[in-house]
Amino acid sequence: MSEEWTLASLKHYIEQRFNDQGEAIKTAMSAAEKAVDKAEKATEKRFDSVNEFRKTLSDQAALFLQRGEYMAASKALVEKVEKMEKVQNYLIGGLVMLSFFEPIIVTIIGRIYK
């Protein structure tokens, strides 16, 4: 097929090439827009996960015992335990003294009522 170019056929060929390129550009732009939309959605999901993680950390920080609070409560407990130890020591001392003096007291009372 030997076809010679005429001005009309050349014009038609060039117009067709421009139209084909325009369609290819539209298709490429559409694909690019879809890719950008997917990337934006993926980024939103990732940031949602990051925000959820931040919220979890924030909730934990609000629920965790602060060092100052712990130290105050710990100090109060130590003081209570020390007081209880003192009372225990007094009671034990009293019982030891009572057990030491019991035979003497029993002997004295026994002699008085004899």
Q: Give the pLDDT confidence of 26-62 residue by residue, as tens digits.
A: 999 999 999 999 999 999 988 888 899 999 999 888 8
When pLDDT is cut at 50, 70 and 90, the band that residue 106 belongs to is: confident
2 band by pLDDT with thresholds 50, 70 and 90? low
Find tokens 């980024």 and name the residue: 43
pLDDT-derived band at 14, boundaries 50, 70, 90: very high
CA dihedral 25, 31, 34, 38 (to 10 degrees): -130
Residues 6+ apart with CB under 8 A from 9: 3
pLDDT at 28: 95
Rounded to whole angstroms, the Cα distance separating 40 from 99 reads 85
The structure tokens listed for 22 are 């325009």
Whole-prediction pTM: 0.43
Which of these, 103, 80, 99, lies nearest to 88 by C-alpha position? Answer: 80
Q: Domain coordinates of the chain in residue numbers?
A: 1-64, 66-114
